[in-house]
Structure 1
Amino acid sequence: MKDTIVLYPNIGRGHLVSMVELGKLILTHYPSLSITILILTPPTTTLAATDSNANYIAAVSTTTPAIKFHRIHLPPLPSSAPSLPDHFLSLELSRHSTPNVAVALQSLAKTSTLKALVMDFMNFNDPKTLTHNLNLPTYFYFTSGASTLAVLLLLPTIHQNAANKNFKEHPLQIHVPGLPSFSTDDFPNEAKDPSDPTFNMLIRTVETMKGSAGIIVNTFEAIEEIPIKALNEDEKIPPLYCIGPVISSPYGEEDNGCMSWLDSQPSQSVVLLSFGSMGRFSRVQLREIAKGLEKSEKRFLWVVRSELEEGGDSGELLLPEGFLERTKEIGLVVRDWAPQQEILSHDSVGGFVTHCGWNSVLEAVCEGVPMVAWPLYAEQFLNKVVLVEEMKVALAVKVGKEGLVSSTELGERVKQLMDSAKGKEIRQRVFKMKMSAAEARAESGSSRVALDKLAMSWKLSNSVRGLNFSPFVLAIVFFSSFLFSFIGLALPSLHRRSRIRGNSATWGPTREMVKTAEVVRRGLAGGEHGGEDGDDVGRGDGGWLGKIN
């Protein structure tokens, strides 16, 4: 039977794409494995959404046949299910999918040798229930950055220290060592109020992640070195595998004329405006964006996903009168979808107004494109803080009354990014990060090393799992290990005594044995430093996440 890694994405195209790209990365370096992706199909899935995913899945199956898909049809949610915002409803759906997913895993185990289960962090399942009797190690895939992960893992402690206050009514300034100081206003709404049903789901998800075999993060050391180091040093957090940047690859979708239009534009002259699949704006905000682009006098490619006016057949009804005609020489407005990664990689693109979704951030970094940060929901506000204040690769827009970004504000930020000395500094900084991203993915780069460690953890966990020692053998192994450790700790003292007696040449351990024992003893004693010649033994007294409960 083939060795198989099972990937379990959350509902939604974006989550599916992220898992597919993770699967492709694994197969690129470990082609002997196979990948099976579980597809949750909720009862209310629209025909359009089904067709869209079906086309995507068919394309993946054709280009990467080692990736298999296993569909799981879900029953309707019970009437007692809590009312949740759309982007968190999937948490409740995944919770009710637990029996179905468990049955699917049992079925897969009959035809494949399952090595690991990798769950989307947005899946609200108990891994122990899912993998009952399979003894399968479970990992979580965190598709945002390490900085956001650090804040998420600290969420229970933050609220406990604040006496479980509602941060919507009582915002606080938070300092997480290794990150810029930020306000709880930058938390996702669902993480602000302990009485919110989604908050309790997040807390339980945090506890589940902390009990897993490891957390896979779509980031790389060069852009988040400090939070990654702190997370790695905290013994209450499972091993971290920073294998990014994992970037989505195009599957032949139409580009809506974007690329041919970009071909006719000067180098680094165009600003891309794209706000993700859920980035929809009111008519008032759309008009402010349009006016701001005119005020900036910069070339632009704008992806508009907002709903049309009733009875309209184009986006023109949502925009200021005559806008499309006035800007036809310098701008292109595209409805609904555009190949964002391909656009960012085009030589004519010199700036990016983004909602700060982490995938979009990584795409911009990998192409060396500076950003204007305009977060809209979820963890995007935390990403904005990191981009602007820590990485310094973006300018932030100021949101005015009633949550609107004015045309003047947007126009000034776009001009600042493209024309000012500060914009030039940001451009140079993000170009260096582009180089770092390439180095991380190289043969000996940090992300490749992390992927190798992840694969080794699958091999080791399954090797131990497959041995099936008897209790008697395990007892002998344990006693022998204890006895060897005791002798090893005593060796340096015995060696010193033998030297006093003048017997060091004829009796006693070798120099290497003494050195090893001394290193182990220092490590067990909690010393700060490792052994000689770079030996790294023991870990410190916890990092800045050491007080997580």
Structure 2
Amino acid sequence: MAITTGSHILVFPYPAQGHMLALLDLTHELATRGLVITILVTPKNVLSLTTLLSAHPKTITTLVLPLPSHPAIPSGVENTKDLPGDGFKAMMVALGDLYNPVLDWFHNNPNPPVAIVSDMFLGWTYHLASQLDIRHYTFSVTGAFSLSVIFSLWRYQPKRRDQENENEMILLPKIPNSPEYPWWKLSIIYRSYVQGDPASEFLKDGLCNNMASWGIIVNSFTELEQVYVDHLKEEVGHDRVFAVGPILPAGNKTTERGGSSLSNNVLSWLDTCEENTVVYICFGSQAVLTNELMEVIAMGLEKSHVRFIWAVKEPTVGHVAKKYSKIPDGFEDRVAGRGLVLRGWAPQVAILGHASVGVFLTHCGWNSIMEGVEAEVIMLTWPMTADQHMNATVLHELQLGIKFSAGMEIIPDPDELAKLFNKSVSQETQVERKRAKEFSTAAKEAIGENGSSRKELDRLVANLSY
């Protein structure tokens, strides 16, 4: 039942596909519960809101502001999927220049918002909310464990003893289970921080602001990450940490999410495959693999003889096209009938939800993990950067994932990859498959009637509304 409140909320997503989709799906849930919402976007991202706006024509409106210029952002680019590798940080800095335009909009609005819900990469909005004397909520696109690691890094600032050793282990003793990681696996924003540098200080301030937010919204569920949700509450000193996941697309958006004309053909092909026999391979909306990595994955698939769907991201700004994303010559002909290669976007939620797909080779982006958990698939982990190494830890701890590789620099052996592909669809993974079923059931129950995440969502709405 919808909760009628009428409270006006400003929602501000960060313009990266992995960030926007989850927050927009959350916005749908908030609107369904009676909140009046304004979504702040730049002009070229308005199209992403089409389905959402049509579903809530009376309660969701847009605030469209031009993206401020930045030397690292090419003209016309407004989404990080089209930026070079360092584009995330440049976009975070550029968006900070929207402070005054948003402030002006607030002052000229006859019914200004009572709260701001912004992406964790837009921590500067905390100062905006403070100036306007309204509540600020941080939306975390990563899970409770990874967010705990981010908070621990910026709060306690661990350092390397040997500045040249990228493999030096960094212990994070304040977090349950005292995780440790080699330096190179930690957040690039943290590793590249330079004290006194204006951009670095801006990014640090924003991420630290998240800890001071009135509330923190996490796309996870307590049955998956209870100990880390509790830890976050201890870290921030209050109970306004809302685990509302898994946040998934509503209704028939499972085949539309991101836009696709391929869905019917892909799903028809999957209908011809036996249950749990297909491996789905996708490295998310940001990662573009080198040709060398493409070659070893292709060889591993070819040697393994498993059925597969491989979603390949095309090179974008900053990539030398000849060095990235090349499918080896003749590969598609040699695997015809037992494998599909999809270039660009793939209907991931629909693919993972198909009974024939039993395994997901993933870069461990948190949205992908949430989708994989809900879909009851075993996950082969190949984290690349950002929070992905921490997300993989959660899968390994819970026996939901099997280590496949890590990072762009490690070149796996194709024969070993073939063995892992074969193992993943065999009876050798009975433990992981049982765990996948248990947590899939828990995820469905969490977002179902009287589930933990449903209750957390209602608690969030009540908190936003007073």
Give the letter aligned to residue 35 of structure 1.
I
Question: Deviation of residue 376 (structure 1)?
Answer: 1.4
CA distance in 2: counterparts of 1:163 and 1:126, whole angstroms: 35
Q: Residues 117 and 137 of structure 1 are in contact (CA less than 8 Å); yes or no, is this contact kept in structure 2?
A: yes
Q: What percent of counterpart residues are identical?
A: 27
Residue correspondence of structure 1 range 267-286 to structure 2 within 5 A: 267-286=275-294
SS in 2 for 1:318: coil
Q: TM-score, with normalisation over the residues of structure 2?
A: 0.85
Give the letter aligned to residue 8 of structure 1.
F
Aligned to 1:20: 24
Aligned to 1:100: 101
Residue correspondence of structure 1 range 110-149 to structure 2 within 5 A: 110=110, 112=111, 114-130=113-129, 132=131, 134-149=132-147
Unaligned runs of 5+ in 2: 73-83
| Residues 15-72 of structure 1, C-alpha deviations (whole Å, 9 max, x = no match) | 33222111111123x13x222110034xxxxxxxx3xx44432232223323222101
Number of paired residues?
Answer: 437
Task: Give the RMSD, CA atoms, in angstroms.
Answer: 2.9
Q: 60, 63, 83: which is aligned to 2:55?
A: 63
Aligned to 2:67: 74
Aligned to 2:364: 356
Residue correspondence of structure 1 range 502-513 to structure 2 within 5 A: none
Q: Residues 353 and 372 of structure 1 are in contact (CA less than 8 Å); yes or no, is this contact kept in structure 2?
A: yes
CA distance in 2: counterparts of 1:394 and 1:382, whole angstroms: 13
Q: Residues 381 and 405 of structure 2 are in contact (CA less than 8 Å); yes or no, is this contact kept in structure 1?
A: no
Larger RCO, structures 1/2 (Cα 8 Å, 6+ apart): 2
Aligned to 1:426: 432
CA distance in 2: counterparts of 1:311 and 1:455, whole angstroms: 46
Q: Residues 383 and 405 of structure 2 are in contact (CA less than 8 Å); yes or no, is this contact kept in structure 1?
A: no
Unaligned runs of 5+ in 1: 42-49, 461-549
Aligned to 1:218: 219
Residues 239 and 253 of structure 1: CA distance in aligned 2, closer, same or farther (over 3 Å): same
Aligned to 2:86: 85
Question: Deviation of residue 5 (structure 1)?
Answer: 1.4
Q: TM-score, with normalisation over the residues of structure 1?
A: 0.73
Aligned to 1:294: 302
SS in 1 for 2:458: helix
CA distance in 2: counterparts of 1:396 and 1:324, whole angstroms: 26
Q: Residues 160 and 168 of structure 2 are in contact (CA less than 8 Å); yes or no, is this contact kept in structure 1?
A: no
> 2:422 matched to 1:415?
yes
CA distance in 2: counterparts of 1:25 and 1:167, whole angstroms: 46
Q: 303, 317, 323: which is aligned to 2:311?
A: 303
| Residues 208-241 of structure 1, C-alpha deviations (whole Å, 9 max, x = no match) | 1122111011110000011112222345366201
Residues 416 and 341 of structure 1: CA distance in aligned 2, closer, same or farther (over 3 Å): same
The range that moved more, 158-167 or 140-149, is: 158-167
Q: Residues 398 and 409 of structure 1 are in contact (CA less than 8 Å); yes or no, is this contact kept in structure 2?
A: no
Question: Deviation of residue 259 (structure 1)?
Answer: 1.1
Larger radius of gyration: 1
Give the letter aligned to residue 21 of structure 1.
D
Question: Deviation of residue 201 (structure 1)?
Answer: 4.1
Q: 4, 10, 21: which is aligned to 1:6?
A: 10
Aligned to 1:205: 206
Aligned to 1:393: 400
CA distance in 1: counterparts of 2:238 and 2:158, whole angstroms: 19
Aligned to 1:39: 41
Q: Residues 68 and 95 of structure 2 are in contact (CA less than 8 Å); yes or no, is this contact kept in structure 1?
A: no
Q: Residues 7 and 465 of structure 2 are in contact (CA less than 8 Å); yes or no, is this contact kept in structure 1?
A: no
| Residues 342-386 of structure 1, C-alpha deviations (whole Å, 9 max, x = no match) | 000011101000010000000000111110001112111111122
The range that moved more, 240-249 or 201-210, is: 201-210
Question: Deviation of residue 441 (structure 1)?
Answer: 1.3
Give the letter aligned to residue 106 of structure 2.
L
Residues 401 and 293 of structure 1: CA distance in aligned 2, closer, same or farther (over 3 Å): same
